[in-house]
A and B are shown apart, each in its own frame.
Chain A
Amino acid sequence: MTRFANTLAAAVAAIILLSACKGPVESTQLVVNPDDCTGCGECVEVCPYNAIEVIDGDAVIDPALCHFCYRCVEQCPEGAIN
């Protein structure tokens, strides 16, 4: 029960932290979560700038070529790109 309470507290703390991120948020690169990425390559197929490649089983985005069109975010079946 204590473990459950600890985990719940950690989850609540993370949610509070997440909701506290208000105001303008800017990114200079998209973020790929390697835990979620399965290396299926669908993002590579839809990228119109040739900015993504699957290396060692994970999608890797080239920050010099990415134009933030978000097609990879929309297409990724695992929701691994933010």
Chain B
Amino acid sequence: MKSKLFILILIFVFAELNTAIGQNTQKDLTEIINKQQAMLDEMQAEIDDLKSYVEEDEDDMFGDINIHGFISQGFLKSENDNWFMDNTKGQGSFQFNEVGINFSSQLSDNLRVGAQFLSRDFGAVDNNKVKIDWAYFDYKFDDWLGFRAGKMKTPIGLYSEIRDVDMLRTTIFLPFMRMYDESYREMMNAIQGISLYGSLDVGVAGMLDYNVQWGYNDINTEDGGMKRQIEGISVGGVNPISEAIDGESESAFASRINWSTPIDGLLLGGAYGKYKSNATVLTSVPLSATLPAGSEVSLNFTDYHVYIASAQYTIGELVLTSEYQRAKYDADFAGIMSTSEETQMWYMMADYRLNSLLSLAVGYSNMTDAGDPDGEQAEAAGGKDYSTWTKDWFVSSKFDITENWVFKAELHFLDGTDYNMPNMKTSDQERRDVLLALKTTVSF
């Protein structure tokens, strides 16, 4: 078809040339031939461009649209059932999966568009409802400045953007307490709004990658982890909420800067996030004479601040990572009561790829309630002191069975129960627990 098009164009050009020769004198002949030759060259260039475009398309069965996806299935079992999988009764649970598919297209050199749909089950949370994981367009003015609009993954910490994509890391769970919390991913994992990003070459100092986002985030009060978090809030040792019936994000801001230093393999980063949201809840206790138990009142998270410092050093197949996070929220309860919580956590992790089949990771994470690190207040209020901390040693293995198929096994040795959501902390939870996690993922 392409050769036929070419011949037709040639016939047209020569016909035009003959007509021109017939109608003009010999004096103008050279000028006309040159003009027609330039036209011919221009058409040939157009045909070459068309040809390369068609050849590129032939390599891509879906034309300009790229399609990728993954399917993960996991299994969780903990020795003392401290883990927040509901009602496993020592049997373990397969309610631990992720399925995602994405579509993207490079519309021009500078403009890109794409979307990913995700379905996830994590015990009582999320229950395999299909959601938009990310969907945005991206216009790159230059390498140092790009603009995105839509729903984007939040750049808080080194791993937040890839936490749904299991095959991209050795561990099953990221150091899984508040920094990469599994229970309310829907809130912390993406922002709907706008973003500015880019890479800045800072000469001998290396390279800076930045990303700043403004907008709002999802609050799932149907079966999301945030519903449980709200329903478990304690004010002065009393839980005043029986049910969270609605929730709305007012604003969300997230920012991150990563510095690729001049020292080979050393990456340093910093991130800051600020969120405001509110929820409508039913009270479980009388708040005042006019607000008896069962009243519908508002709960405002006036400020939720997150600060993260990150460091990663790569030497060949060994990656050493450590991050520190401090997070604080203030909540105002119907203008009558208020509460706040401040947590800090850090972790360190070593990840080594032994060969093309096996990668191993080992690490330690530590999380404490900054206001009650030793659990004295919790104990005085009748609770367990170990409910205010979690210390976790973990060891993970990843088997790359094929390029597209991985299997992972992981053990966590847990001390303390602060990793649980508030309403899952029961008085009969043991201080120590061992968690086994298995997971297999296929991606394309």
Is this pair of chains taken from one and the same complex? no
Chain A residues with CB under 8 Å of chain B are none
